[in-house]
Structure 1
């Protein structure tokens, strides 16, 4: 089992984000919104959108680190290869 989060697993291009936003299935809870769409690669990919309502730069960076780590540790549980965009809804607790 590979727990690395390689560059290939990052969603980076605007067109990739647009495709996930347009075609993706939406999953919401109080903490985060996920857009998920199957992809044609042999691996899943993650994109993050963290707005300023999450907080100042250190808080936004912390939110991104936590979301990347959650993906990295749980990607082996995904049954199919998907593109995921994660959007936190509000500031993460400072005690995380």
Structure 2
């Protein structure tokens, strides 16, 4: 049996570049809850909708959405694949934050259009994750 390449699992430092299925936001009820009580961070091609929960028992979950108006099924699936990959490579920006702040965090990336390139999506995902981190740390600062 072949050994996995280390470059696929870890990079510089102790960051893990995996995205397990247990971290993916699934289920109609979870998405309804996210859309009913969430905040929005907007960008040129990608939006980020997020909700924080005071219970630390709520997991840190992420979703990827490409609405039907963005294109055909093939285009939507490609867009979600690119969003997942951009998030997977940059998740270290946000992943340790829920444990530090002792909160539950659900968020979803929404594509505004199809036929996006990875080179255009990745900087936007980084910008959205950085903004999300700033908003959460601002809300958690001691008063």
Deviation by residue 1:31-75 (Cα, 9 ceiling, x = unmatched): 012111225358632112212222112211110001101111111
Q: Does 1:80 align with 2:97?
A: yes
- For residues 6 and 26 of structure 1, the distance between their equivalents in structure 2, rounded to whole angstroms, comes to 25
Larger strand percent: 1
SS at 1:68 equivalent: helix
TM-score (norm: length of structure 1) = 0.83
Please identify runs of 4+ aligned residues in structure 1 that moved more than 4 A.
Answer: none
- For residues 77 and 41 of structure 1, the distance between their equivalents in structure 2, rounded to whole angstroms, comes to 21
Q: 1:95 to 1:76 in 2, by over 3 A?
A: closer
Judge which range, 25-34 or 59-68, deviates more. Answer: 25-34
Query: For this pair of structures, how many residues does the alignment match?
Result: 96
| Structure label with greater radius of gyration | 2
SS at 1:83 equivalent: strand
Give RMSD over aligned pairs. 2.2
Alignment match, 1:6: 20
- For residues 24 and 90 of structure 1, the distance between their equivalents in structure 2, rounded to whole angstroms, comes to 21
Q: 1:86 to 1:56 in 2, by over 3 A?
A: same
Alignment match, 1:90: 113
Q: What are structure 1's unaligned runs of at least 5 residues?
A: none
Q: What are structure 2's unaligned runs of at least 5 residues?
A: 1-14, 99-104, 120-143
